[in-house]
Structure 1
Amino acid sequence: MTPEPWLAVPIALVCVLTMLGGMYGLRLSRTTSDFYVAGRAVGPWTNASAIGGEYLSAASFLGVAGIVYLGGVDTLWFPVGYTLGYLVLLALVAAPLRRSGAYTAGDFAQARLDDLGARRLSALLAVLIGWLYLLPQLHGAGLALRSLTGAPTWVGGLLVTVVVTLNVVAGGMRSVTLVQAVQYWFKLAAIAVPAVVLVAVWWAQGQPPPRLDLATPMADSGLAIGAYSTVSTLIALCLGTMGLPHVIVRFYTNPDGRAARRTTVAVIALLGAFYLFAPVYAVLGRVYVEQGRVPADAMMLLLPQVMPLGSAGDALLALLAAGAFAAFLSTASGLAVAVTGALDQDLVRPALYRLTSGDTDGVHSFRVAALLATVVPAVLSPAIGSIGLATTVTLAFAVAASTFCPLLVLGVWWRGLSVTGALAGMSTGGLLSMGAVVATVADLVPRGPWHVLVSNPAAWSVPIAFATTYLVSRLTPARVPATTLATMVRLHAPEGWLARPRP
């Protein structure tokens, strides 16, 4: 597509408004609880909007439409998979996670298993998954800004890093929650309004209307569409959602377990409304954008330029550009908060405590951790190459499903989970899935059946992780925590039940 330098104006406006929201959050954030979980006082619809804001990344805003554009009807299940993960989360872990009273995944592991090693491994995995999810956001921001304005690729990643870091440092979760809740509704408008206008223009074009064809994948699309890859991706999306660190931490911001369940139901509705529009852009792309003219991730941004819209095309392009950049900012903000929490509690705060002989506080260490959480992926983002946004994000889902899903599901529902079993399951799932990610990103496996298996690891890494956790736990019953029964009661008992007087 032809770069338009003036598009820097709506992108800059989104960045400024995001920072203003963060500055407002600075006035509200005072305690560690404010920075970590927004004081545990976020209502269901506000929290659902914030979850939608951070979950609907650039992979959702641009990448899903690009995948359907290339893959045709065989990939229409893709947006369904992203939403279905919250249904699984609602049924299995939403309310118990909130009742656990934890701040992070590491907190939950320690509360359930009463083991410092499990906590540290969970924190490490949360950081790795968060960074793996952050990398495509920063890399994609650079590519999008270059396509839209002609700016160097590194500028987009640097811009997102600076804005996100300032927001997280300013007010932590309280700042981010406010910004993300607003950004969901802005992103919904940014994708819906152009879609309605573009469909109206298409409908008015000639008699009969242009031929639509999503029945078959485009030639040489590079998508491995088949039964195995479909099943594997669905497993990753359905089971990986509950393991994403920025999703887990959101359920600790609700006042209680009931609010957590209501939040999840609202999220499903909000995500469903958003994903209705990805196939619309894919269909229009098949009509107006020839394959190979632009990367699939940029197909949506090209439509206002190639369709007969006149000056209205510029307005729609500006709205899409602002929405895409809002997606980069909101998702990166949520990930940065989650990674910051894991780094702070298990690395930065203990280090500062030793260096200052105990003279430190949680807010100061949180801000130091925020810098580390955003700078590292900013440095590494150019290394991920040309893999599509949705593909890279799906790999992060696969790692989350292979590590945290067994811990959370078995930790919530099975009393026989042992410390050794949990450590073995998370380690095995993490090594297998991260190895597959490295091989895929570095393109170490030649094209063919083995490449399909390695680039879609969830179908085998998740069952292996679950089986390892179960079998090792059965072999080490002595390592089941003595506090298991009390912890299970806390996870499943309704709020206030334990405090009621008994006859």
Structure 2
Amino acid sequence: MNPVFDTVAIALLVASTIVLGFAGLRISRTTGDFFVASRSVRPVWNASAISGEYLSAGTFLGLAGLVLLSGAEGFWFPIGYAAGYLLVLLFVASPLRRSGAYTIPDFVQARLESVAARRVTSIVVLVIGWLYVVPQLHGAALALGVVADVDPWVGAVLVAVLVAGIVAAGGMRAVTAVQAMQYWLKLTALTVPVVFLLIALSDGDPAFDPSVVFPVAEGPSGVDAYATASLLLALLLGTIGLPHVLVRFYTSPDGIAARRTTVIVIAMIGAFYSVSGTMGLIGRAVAPELAVPGLADTVVLALPSRVFPGLLGELLTALIVAGAFAAFLATSSGLVVSLAGVVSQDVFSGSVRSFRISAVLCTAVPLAIALLTVPSGLVSSVGTVFVFAASALTPVLLLGVWWAGLTARGAVAGMVCGALSCGGALLASALVPDAGLVSAMLAQPAAWTIPLATLVVIAVSLLDRRRVPVRTERYLARLHLPER
């Protein structure tokens, strides 16, 4: 790798991000601009921004690394990620936009008429967001360390400072422009190298044995049924519980635009996943020695120079490096802007000034965690967030949109139960030795924590039915009746 080309690529990305981000300072004036971009973002532009923030470090670097390590098992992640947006389309996109809320806690308070439920929701949202930002900072440290041979903290601090500055300067309106640009950069940064690599590898007889590169044991026949089913359930339902995903629908002009946006997002992220997964398959043929935990996530950065030693390989690597940093910046920006909205309203006054202070605070916390922890596999780290979101937040959101019997006590009990059961299972899985099904249930707890949390919400709400908000029917009508 040539650190000069890589450094120039990062510098160009940083410069374009700063220009777009701080341009939002001139047009972002009102609270609506900072929180939801004045609800004026059209479907294609909004879909580009959503795809930009959704395709994180775990996708850009980690998915190829997981396919390199696990073979066919790694493809369950993009299937779950993409299909999760189908559930968002069917069940929550349009109703949440019609709610008129700025944040998820806003929606919960308006739906249940409870400040206590709002506060618990805010805590859950902050935990989910911070858990998601940390892998992005770890990924930045990993990528910059590989291409520039600097200390790991440099990449994490660089991304954190940029994200805090952009979000504080222009809020949601500025972040939208940055994320939309970065989606197309990320797609280009993987598609161009993949095309070159496939052309090079298709020239003549293959230099590898397919039965060695893709052994039967690492195909569908070797997949653990429970772990796979539980993982898919977490990925499908976890998307509904991600605050930075849901807040983007509040920026749509109306519910119809929100649904159209979601359809376009499914196509966009599907195209990206196909390219990212292909890069992992190429890695199994070209660089099988990188199939080591902790090293596999670097395969995307290593492939171009392996196949094209010289200037072409260095230029393709620089393009990938720019795309990788775009992934870190886009996802982190979306998370911080959604968390800043929550902290600004729940802790401070909800003003533009408090939003900016909150943006800095919401970046500083995950940065401290990232600097104090050791990165694990990027995909598995992001997958953990999906499991937690699906267990702690998704049941309440779905029932809040579709069930008139939900009460504040039921919602609080369900969120607490889901968070504690999921968090406890994941912690226990790191401590308990491998014991077959028990270990699988702890490592992939979604199959039982999501039903458990849902049952707790319903049971407590039924026992507390006298506390169903009086205006529930009117509010649900607002969520489901079409605008036109």
* TM, length-normalised to structure 2: 0.95
Q: Does 1:482 align with 2:482?
A: no
Q: Matches of 1:368 and 1:381 in 2, distance apart?
A: 21
Q: Please give the per-residue CA displacement for 1:233-255, whole angstroms capped at 9, x wherever unaligned.
A: 11111101111010010010001
Partner of 2:160: 161
Correspondence list, 1:341-490, <5 A: 341-349=341-349, 362-439=351-428, 443-449=430-436, 450-490=438-478
* Equivalent residue letter for 2:434: R
Query: For residues 121-140 of structure 1, what are the structure 2 equivalents within 5 Å?
Result: 121-140=120-139
Q: Taking structure 1 as reference, are residues 108 and 454 closer, same or farther at Cα in structure 2, changes over 3 Å only?
A: same
> In the aligned structure 2, how far is the partner of 1:298 from the partner of 1:200?
22
Q: Distance in 2 between matches of 1:435 and 1:148?
A: 37
Q: CA deviation at 1:368?
A: 0.8
Q: Is 2:312 aligned against 1:323?
A: no
Instruction: Return the alpha-carbon distance in structure 2 between the equivalents of residues 39 and 173 of structure 1.
Output: 9
Write the deviation string for residues 20-42 of structure 1: whole angstroms up to 9, x where unpaired.
Answer: 11111111100000000000000
Q: Deviations over 1:15-66 (max 9, x none)?
A: 1211111111111100000000000000011000000000000111111111
Moved more, 70-79 or 94-103: 70-79
Change in CA separation of 1:88 and 1:384 when aligned onto 2, cut-off 3 Å: farther
| Cα displacement string for residues 350-404 of structure 1 (whole angstroms, at most 9, x for unaligned residues) | xxxxxxxxxxx70011011111100011001134424211101111111111122
The answer to whether the 8 A contact 1:49-1:184 is kept is yes
What letter is aligned with 1:227?
Answer: A
Amino acid at match of 1:243: G
- Counterpart secondary structure, 2:431: coil
Q: Secondary structure at the match of 2:166?
A: helix
**Equivalent residues of 1:424, 1:468 under 8 A apart:** yes
Which residue of 2 is the match for residue 354 of structure 1? none
Q: Distance in 2 between matches of 1:190 and 1:90?
A: 28
Contact residue 138 and residue 375 of structure 2 kept, 8 A: no
Shift of 1:310: 3.1
**C-alpha displacement of 1:5:** 5.5
Contact preservation (8 Å) 2:5, 2:314? no
Q: Are the structure 2 counterparts of residues 425 and 150 from structure 1 closer, same or farther at C-alpha, using a change threshold of 3 Å?
A: same
C-alpha RMSD of the superposition: 1.8
Output aligned runs, 1:121-200, within 5 Å.
121-200=120-199
1:72·1:217 contact (CA, 8 Å) conserved in 2? Answer: no
Aligned to 1:487, what secondary structure does the other structure show?
helix
Give 1:69's aligned residue: 68
Letter in 2 for 1:394: G
Letter of the 1:444 counterpart: L
How far apart, CA to CA, are the structure 2 residues paired with 1:254 and 1:30?
Answer: 18
**Contact (CA 8 Å) 1:11, 1:321: kept in 2 or not?**
yes
**Counterpart AA for 1:429:** G
Are residue 267 (structure 1) and residue 272 (structure 2) matched?
no
Shift of residue 232, structure 1, vs aligned partner: 1.3
Distance 2:260 2:475 in 1: 23
Aligned to 1:314: 314
Q: Secondary structure at the match of 2:252?
A: coil
2-side partners of 1:6 and 1:311: how far apart? 10
Q: Tell me, which stretches of 5 or more residues in structure 1 are unaligned? A: 350-360, 497-503
Q: Judge which range, 44-53 or 378-387, deviates more.
A: 378-387
Tell me if structure 2 keeps the 8 A contact 1:135–1:384. Answer: no
Alpha-carbon distance change, 494 to 301 in structure 1, aligned in 2, over 3 angstroms: same
- Compare the two structures and name the one with the higher helix fraction: 2
* Separation (CA, whole Å) in 1 of partners of 2:216 and 2:362: 42
**8 A Cα contact 2:72 2:218, kept in partner:** no
Q: CA deviation at 1:13?
A: 1.6
Instruction: Give the SS at the match of 2:209.
Output: coil
Matched position secondary structure for 2:451: helix
300-309 or 329-338, which deviates more: 300-309
CA–CA distance in structure 2, aligned partners of residues 80 and 238 of structure 1: 9
1:24 aligns with 2:23: yes
Percent identity reads 49
**Cα separation, 2, equivalents of 1:256 and 1:99:** 7
Q: Is the 8 A contact 2:69 2:291 kept in 1?
A: no
Provide the rounded CA distance (Å) in 2 between the counterparts of 1:290 and 1:7. Answer: 24
CA pair 373-145 structure 1, distance change in 2 beyond 3 A = same
Q: Give the partner amino acid of 1:182.
A: M
Deviates more, 1:8-17 or 1:23-32: 8-17
CA displacement 1:311-336 (0-9 Å, x = unmatched): 21001100111101110000000000
Alpha-carbon distance between aligned partners in 1 of 2:462 and 2:56, rounded to the nearest angstrom = 40
Opposite residue 287 of structure 1, the aligned amino acid is A
Cα deviation for residue 260 of structure 1 reads 0.5
| Runs of 5+ consecutive residues of structure 2 not aligned to the other structure | none
**Closer, same or farther in 2 for the Cα pair 1:31/1:438, shift >3 Å?**
farther
Determine if contact 2:68/2:291 at 8 Å carries over to the other structure: no
Aligned partner letter, 1:237: L
Quote the Cα distance in structure 2 between the aligned partners of 1:225 and 1:11. 39
Shift of residue 169, structure 1, vs aligned partner:
0.6
One-letter code aligned to 2:35: Y
Further displaced range: 390-399 or 273-282: 273-282
Amino acid at match of 1:436: A
Give the equivalent residue in structure 2 for 1:336: 336
Which residue of structure 2 aligns with residue 81 of structure 1?
80
Q: CA deviation at 1:448?
A: 3.9
Task: Tell me how far apart the structure 1 counterparts of residues 260 and 49 of structure 2 sit (CA, whole Å).
Answer: 14
